[in-house]
Structure 1
Amino acid sequence: MITCRNLQWGPAGRPLTPPLDLHLPRASLTAVIGSNGCGKSSLLKVIAGIERPLSGQIELSVAHRGGIAYLVQQQALDRQFPIKLQDLVSAGLWRSTLGRPQRRERLQQALRDWDLEHLQQHSLRALSGGELQRALLARLSLTDAQLLLLDEPEAALDESGIALLWQHIQRWQAQGRTLLIVSHALDSLNQRLGNALLVAASGCRYAPIRELLTRRSGLEKVA
């Protein structure tokens, strides 16, 4: 699904890590961990095609149109933009070929799945951080993308929201989707998934997350 060969990324002329070679198979679930500023979010943007790599290659076994869905961090949004929550969520259907009744049904189902029905007429600025995060996740869930790139999906979620998130992550993986998740919630990751990619200036390492967590030197600065 994802193959990186001699991949480097970061500011022009200043790669954040040594070259990365990595292969992640279809339907895999992988965490991306490391210290603040090490390049985790930038790596997701490079894979998504939002930023260009400094060198190397990425091969993605996905459809050219709509094959990738990327969950942005909340600070990338303008919460003053005059749209309602239901409009934000429905943007996940913009590539859909379904008719209007089917699109409306899928939207309402996503709002129910993420406990957002009672908020659908609210403006973005009227939402709490957790409500906005669930809306962004609901938007992503409406896509048919086979590669899901989630940048800190647990941000602002309460305990029930986190439980809901992981129910969906498990469902997406069971559907054969490939997931790459940037997160600082190491304890939660350790309980829920097997493998992780540790990003560090000294080099990246892909291994079972329990193995990486026993070598705390590369994770001491994780916030």
Structure 2
Amino acid sequence: MPPALVLVGLTKLFGKIRALDALDLTLELGSIHGFVGPNGAGKTTMLSIVAGLKRKTSGNITFGIPDHQMMLMPDTPDFFPLLTAREVVDLARHPFRKEVSEQAVSRIIGEVGLTESIDRRVGGFSRGMKQRLGLATTLIGEPQLVLLDEPCSALDPIGRREVLDTISRLRGKSTVLFSTHILSDVEDVCDSVTVVDHGRALYGGSVSGIRKSKEQSFEDAVLELLQPGRNIE
């Protein structure tokens, strides 16, 4: 089977600023891949280009799945405030209504931990609740390629655990590419990882392969790439 997504030499310039610099990335079908880097590293730009929201300057993007089987969840999802959570997710289900039943709406809302708020208007939701709802709307159509931009950035520890569990359950069913700066999230759920800084990939491979020794933690290995010469005690 071909990979779900292949990026070769992906480059994006904003004037003289090189937001992405000849980025290579391969996502195997059914895998979960973390895209890690500090703020401004190019994570959101990459996801926006893959999703078709921004144009690349150069490079190639090859999909191994149909275009309509890709969904993006932005970092700050927002919704019409007068709708309830149930109505928002059911609206997202509408294009897939022949394949996805109404019962799936309640199920996916439960998976992201919003059952008690299912009939509340989303105008009163916190940012973290909107992130959970955004994940539900992204997954309701059962896409083959799921793009998640900082899906846990506004969540408390319980919310993060619920969302990460939901992402983990996608393994083997969908291919997931998610950006984050929370390194423990990548270590918890990802099969592979790309570490990026200033638009350049510093590492791409398995989560375990980034360590230089068995004693080195994943966090220390990433920080060593991002801050060469840093003493880690």
One-letter code aligned to 2:38: S
Q: Distance in 1 between matches of 2:168 and 2:23?
A: 27
Q: In structure 1, list runs of 5 or more residues that go unmatched.
A: none
Q: CA RMSD in A?
A: 2.3
Larger relative contact order (CA 8 Å, sep ≥ 6): 1
Q: Which of 205-214 and 144-153 deviates more?
A: 205-214
Corresponding residue SS for 1:174: coil
One-letter code aligned to 1:6: G
One-letter code aligned to 2:166: H
Match of 1:183 in 2: 180
- What are the within-5 Å matches in structure 2 for residues 23-62 of structure 1? 23-62=26-65
Match of 1:71 in 2: 73
Match of 1:90 in 2: 90
Q: Is the 8 A contact 2:5 2:64 kept in 1?
A: yes
Identity value in percent: 21
Q: Is the 8 A contact 1:17 1:199 kept in 2?
A: no
Q: Which of 38-47 and 112-121 deviates more?
A: 112-121
Q: Distance in 2 between matches of 1:41 and 1:182?
A: 7
Q: Distance in 2 between matches of 1:44 and 1:56?
A: 14
- What are the within-5 Å matches in structure 2 for residues 74-153 of structure 1? 74=76, 77=78, 81-98=81-98, 103-153=101-151
Structure with the largest fraction of strand: 2
What displacement does 1:217 show?
4.2
Corresponding residue SS for 1:164: helix
One-letter code aligned to 1:138: A
Q: Is the 8 A contact 2:167 2:189 kept in 1?
A: no
Number of residue pairs the alignment of both structures matches: 214
Q: Is the 8 A contact 2:7 2:23 kept in 1?
A: yes
Task: Evaluate the alpha carbon distance shift between residue 21 and residue 174 of structure 1 in structure 2; reply closer, same or farther with a 3 A threshold.
Answer: closer
One-letter code aligned to 1:49: G
Question: In the TM superposition, what whole-angstrom CA distance separates every residue of 1:85-126 from its partner, at most 9, and x where no partner exists?
Answer: 222222331321428xx6321212222323323322322221
Q: Distance in 1 between matches of 2:80 and 2:7?
A: 38
One-letter code aligned to 1:201: H
Q: Distance in 2 between matches of 1:186 and 1:152?
A: 11
What displacement does 1:181 show?
1.0
What displacement does 1:32 show?
0.5
Q: Distance in 1 between matches of 2:188 and 2:125?
A: 30
Q: In structure 2, list runs of 5 or more residues that go unmatched.
A: 212-219, 228-233
Q: Distance in 2 between matches of 1:219 and 1:84?
A: 42
Match of 1:18 in 2: 21
Q: Distance in 1 between matches of 2:95 and 2:87?
A: 15
Match of 2:216 in 1: none
Task: Evaluate the alpha carbon distance shift between residue 168 and residue 26 of structure 1 in structure 2; reply closer, same or farther with a 3 A threshold.
Answer: same
One-letter code aligned to 2:45: S
Q: Distance in 1 between matches of 2:191 and 2:110?
A: 30
Task: Evaluate the alpha carbon distance shift between residue 186 and residue 69 of structure 1 in structure 2; reply closer, same or farther with a 3 A threshold.
Answer: same
Q: Distance in 2 between matches of 1:191 and 1:115?
A: 19
Task: Give the counterpart of 1:214 among 197, 221, 226.
Answer: 221
